[in-house]
């Protein structure tokens, strides 16, 4: 009798936690610590400290995400043709500059400018970084790679608000010092990018030095993306039209009666759930069809939005937001892995840029309509989005297999 084959020998299991996965996860942890230190207090900073109307919160976050969306598409294509590491470094550097502008803002237009610069940086770095996560990695483990990265990134979203909460109390409830402190981990994340590895051919190096685009095998950078990939991106973009910025969810928590410290604590609970579930969700999507994991995430989305729309007590926020954390865990990294499954060789950065850009642009539209429809307590937009999210979850669970593509790890090409 032939010996039983071990489908996951030790050498194979070790091929997903590569140096780039570890370093880029550390970079994201630092940057998210900075971003999320200020994010949960930004709606309160805008509406209470600066006196801006509630609609401005949705507009600021929507416009910021829209800027990031446009930048992602351009940066994704550049990442297919030029070196990716300089784009990543520039992106994290601009994010640090944006945080400085927010910290010194005396009116909401400067906050908008700061968030815009920050999101330009996010747009520049996102797709090239996601492509470099797969350097030297086994494509069979895309789900857990992106899941691990999202878990590390979101760990920063736990540390940031926790640090912010402690400093908020230490500074006698002053918000502006927290915005200044957020700059420190942002700068450290830029320095860590220097350790990232990028595989480049000699031809790429010489042509990049001359300022011309390097050749891409099979002229892949000019080829249209596969129809199935374009359809997937379209479906996920439609969903993003009802997925407005989390800042409005935090504003709803504040309006339900939570204090500023309570809002920060609730946001920490959300991010603990997100960070704790992101890797398991990614690993699960390597074993079962990704559309089923994504659909489960949409169920959590619907539960979060409908829950916040229907409850009338602030205590419920601490139950609803962690459930909502399951949405981000089961869709963020899984969505990127899904796009990577369908992307052709040499087009991983461009595919990620298009996916993240279009969905981010849809978030812009969602933020604007939700902000304008808020009408005092936000119940209406939350219920609308929750019902649509639940319907999309059912549709994706039933018909999502049409958007899947079998991937043979032995023939897959790593970007």
pLDDT in tens, 159-172: 988 888 888 888 88
Stretch 316-325: mean pLDDT, rounded? 95
Query: pLDDT per residue over 169-183, tens digit each?
Result: 888 888 888 888 888
Read off the tokens for 248: 């409005």
Q: What is the pTM of this model?
A: 0.77
Query: pLDDT per residue over 95-147, tens digit each?
Result: 989 988 988 888 888 988 888 898 889 888 888 898 888 888 888 898 999 99
Q: What rounded mean pLDDT belongs to the chain?
A: 83
CB 35, CB 95: distance < 8 Å: yes
Give the pLDDT band (50/70/90) at residue 248. confident
Task: In whole angstroms, give the CA distance from residue 52 to residue 267.
Answer: 22
Q: Look up residue 49 and give its DSSP letter.
A: I
Q: Judge whether residue 214 has pLDDT over 70.
A: no
Stretch 205-223: mean pLDDT, rounded? 44
**What is the pLDDT at residue 223?**
65
Q: Judge whether residue 381 has pLDDT over 90.
A: yes
Stretch 40-58: mean pLDDT, rounded? 80
**What is the pLDDT at residue 182?**
87
Which of the pair, 239 or 50, is modelled with greater confidence? Answer: 239
Q: Judge whether residue 9 has pLDDT over 60.
A: no
Query: pLDDT per residue over 11-45, tens digit each?
Result: 444 578 888 999 999 999 999 998 888 777 888 78
Name the residue among 144, 163, 167, 174 with its Cα closest to residue 30.
163
Name the residue among 254, 97, 257, 105 with its Cα closest to residue 189.
97
Quote the radius of gyration of the chain (alpha carbons, Å).
Answer: 21
Hey, CA dihedral for 85, 345, 282, 297, is it positive or negative?
Answer: positive
Q: Judge whether residue 395 has pLDDT over 80.
A: yes
Cα–Cα distances (Å) from 63 to 37, 68, 115, 236, 366, in that order, read 20, 9, 9, 19, 10
Mean pLDDT lowest among 33-42, 48-57, 399-408: 399-408
**What is the pLDDT at residue 200?**
59
Spell out the residues 6+ positions from residue 342 whose beta carbon is closer than 8 angstroms to its own.
226, 228, 229, 232, 351, 405
Q: How far apart are the first and last CA of the chain?
A: 40
Stretch 286-298: mean pLDDT, rounded? 95
Hey, CA dihedral for 355, 356, 361, 366, is it positive or negative?
Answer: positive
Reduced to 3 states, what is the DSSP secondary structure of residue 243?
coil
Most confident of 63-72, 86-95, 365-374: 86-95
**What is the pLDDT at residue 393?**
96
Which architecture characterizes domain 17-197+225-403 according to CATH?
A: Up-down Bundle (1.20)
Query: pLDDT per residue over 296-318, tens digit each?
Result: 999 999 999 999 999 989 999 99
Task: In whole angstroms, give the CA distance from residue 139 to residue 146.
Answer: 11
Q: Judge whether residue 50 has pLDDT over 60.
A: yes
């Amino acid at each position: 009798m032939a010996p039983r084959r071990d489908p996951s020998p030790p050498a194979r299991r070790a091929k997903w936690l590569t140096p780039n996965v570890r370093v880029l996860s550390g970079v994201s942890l630092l940057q998210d610590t900075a971003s999320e230190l200020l994010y949960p207090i930004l709606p309160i900073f805008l509406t209470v400290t600066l006196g801006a109307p509630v609609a401005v919160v949705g507009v600021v976050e929507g416009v910021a995400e829209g800027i990031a969306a446009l930048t992602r598409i351009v940066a994704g294509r550049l990442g297919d043709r030029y070196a990716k590491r300089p784009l990543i470094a520039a992106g994290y550097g601009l994010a640090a500059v944006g945080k400085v502008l927010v910290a010194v803002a005396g009116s909401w237009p400067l906050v908008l400018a700061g968030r815009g610069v920050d999101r330009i940086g996010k747009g520049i770095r996102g797709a090239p970084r996601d492509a470099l996560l797969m350097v030297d990695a086994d494509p069979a483990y895309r789900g857990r790679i992106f899941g691990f990265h999202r878990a590390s990134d979101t760990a920063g979203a736990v540390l940031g608000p926790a640090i912010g909460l402690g400093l908020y109390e230490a500074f006698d409830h002053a918000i502006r010092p927290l915005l200044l402190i957020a700059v420190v981990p942002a700068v450290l994340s830029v320095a860590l990018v220097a350790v990232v590895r990028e595989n480049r051919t000699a031809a790429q190096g010489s042509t990049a030095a001359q300022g011309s685009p390097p050749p891409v095998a099979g002229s892949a950078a000019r080829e249209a993306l596969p129809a199935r990939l374009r359809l997937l991106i379209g479906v996920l973009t439609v969903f993003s039209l009802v997925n407005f910025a989390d800042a409005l969810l935090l504003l709803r928590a504040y309006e339900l009666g939570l204090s500023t410290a309570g809002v920060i604590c609730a946001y920490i609970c959300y991010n603990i759930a997100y960070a704790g579930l992101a890797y398991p969700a990614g690993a699960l999507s390597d074993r079962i069809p990704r559309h089923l994991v994504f659909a489960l995430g949409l169920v959590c989305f619907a539960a979060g939005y409908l829950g916040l729309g229907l409850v009338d007590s602030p205590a419920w926020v601490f139950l609803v937001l962690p459930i909502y954390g399951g949405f981000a865990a089961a869709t963020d990294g899984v969505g990127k892995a899904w796009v990577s499954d369908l992307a052709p060789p040499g087009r991983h950065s461009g595919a990620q840029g298009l996916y993240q850009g279009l969905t981010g642009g849809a978030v812009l539209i969602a933020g604007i309509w939700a902000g304008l429809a808020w009408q005092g307590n936000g119940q209406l937009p939350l219920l609308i989005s929750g019902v649509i999210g639940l319907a999309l979850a059912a549709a994706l669970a039933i018909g999502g297999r049409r958007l899947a593509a079998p991937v043979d790890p032995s023939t897959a090409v790593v970007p």
